[in-house]
Chain A
Amino acid sequence: MDMLTIFFRSAFIYIIVLFLYRLMGKRQIGEMQPFELVLTQIIADLATIPMSEISVPVLHGVVPVLCLVLLHFFLTFLSSKSTKFAKFFNGKPIIVINPNGIDNVALKNLDMSIDDVFEALREAGFFSVEQVQYAIMETNGKLSVLPKSDFAPLTASDMKIENEESQIPVTLICEGKIMKENLSVLDVSREDVLDFLKKRKIKSVKNVLLLTIDRSGQVFLQKYKQKYETFKLTEGEIYDKIKLD
């Protein structure tokens, strides 16, 4: 009987914690502010107590977790309203490399060593301090690097090349299923998609692993167990229906 109780308690607490995390946002651990990280760790600890201890009421786990979430909402609200408050709780970004080189004082304030900076630089794709104009330690612990112009990657604008604006591909079929909610994005109907497949000699939607189309008319089509193909839509098929830019 104990096992069954533990099973239901675990499921119940899991759902509550999942709901609360969704409510707090979608940040990954690496993107969390200090108080968010602390909150996550405490909630994880608190949630496990009533899961395994049957004598402890579920409410003894839920009440402190809800209390922390409430405080989180409150702190987030205050942080959004007051810059000073946000700086106090989250800290502020600190420049660790400037045009003069490494700022030793800033590193000491951050309790960081030169090795830590080099590691962060390498993660950012830079292997020498010479390549860096500015490096800023963000409040979430990540290093943002502005390279010197000599070492910055060449872009199309540097070469004065005119490019088409990038478009977001819209998924119309995923794993053999038509994405109904995406059809309206391209102003096409289910019949249009089926017609498109028919012209491509694909018998069923179930044969398609992935079909995406963007507003420029670029298609990505991959059938199950086959290599993908990409092409531009030709006039006459679904092309006429899509709101092309």
Chain B
Amino acid sequence: MTKLNWIKVGIFFFVFLFLIFSCVLEDRMVVYALKNVRDYCYQIEMATEVNDGIVNGQVASLVDNLEYSWKRDEEKLCFLVDHKAMEQLGIEIVRLKTYIDEEEPIEFFTSLEIIKNYVETFQHFMGSSYKNFL
């Protein structure tokens, strides 16, 4: 083999490894970020049950944590996932805070359900499965 062929083989393997790395990284990061959001959602739900309402310090603190956690993860996901596909999640998290301030429990739980539904279905729509492959 000539020197040029060896370089091509080198690039071939580099590209191959890069593609595997990108795919695995995206999958892991999305799963990690959505798991965080889901965990916070269940914690918020439990906090509303324990405190019998949405207007209390614990729920507000958990929603703040959820927002912070999502913003941190979203920044990293921007390199890997379509921005528009994640837009809804950020909007609903901001709405949660507004509903606490305005004391609107029905809208609050609706938003919480939307977030939970988004997290559950995102993997279904975007994840690696034979249905999406086809």
Contact = CB atoms under 8 A, between A and B. Distances in A.
Contacts of A59: 22, 79-80
A54 B22 CA distance: 19
B16 interface: yes
Q: What band does the interface of chain B fall in when counting residues whose beta carbon is under 8 Å from A? A: 10 to 19
Interface string A38-66: 00000000000000001111011001001
Given A23-B8, A23-B11, A70-B12, A56 B82 contact: yes
Nearest to B85: A55
16 contacts: A23-B8, A54-B83, A57-B78, A57-B79, A57-B80, A59-B22, A59-B79, A60-B82, A63-B19, A63-B23, A66-B15, A66-B19, A67-B19, A70-B12, A70-B15, A70-B19
B82 A57 contact: yes
A73 B82 contact: no
Given A66-B18, A73-B8, 11 more contacts: A23-B11, A57-B78, A57-B81, A57-B82, A59-B22, A63-B19, A63-B22, A70-B12, A70-B15, A70-B16, A73-B12
A210 to B, nearest CB: 30
Contacts of A73: 8, 12
Contacts of A57: 78-83
Contacts of B12: 70, 73
Contacts of B81: 57
A69 interface: yes
B28 interface: no
B69 to A, nearest CB: 21
Nearest to A73: B12
A182 B11 CA distance: 30
Contacts of B79: 57, 59
Interface residues of A, number: 13
B107 to A, nearest CB: 27
Given A63-B19, A63-B22, A70-B16, A55 B11 contact: no
Contacts of A54: 83
Interface in B73-108: 78-84
Interface string A170-197: 0000000000000000000000000000
Given A23-B11, A70-B16, A55 B82 contact: yes
Contacts of B23: 63
Contacts of A56: 82-83
Nearest to A70: B15
A73 B79 CA distance: 27
Interface in A81-107: none
A227 B16 CA distance: 55
B49 to A, nearest CB: 37
Contacts of A70: 12, 15-16, 19
Nearest to A24: B8
A67 B22 CA distance: 12
Contacts of B80: 57, 59
A55 B8 contact: no
Interface in B2-21: 8, 11-12, 15-16, 18-19
Contacts of A63: 19, 22-23
Closest 6 pairs between A and B when the two form their complex, measured CB to CB = A55-B83, A55-B84, A66-B15, A73-B12, A70-B15, A56-B82
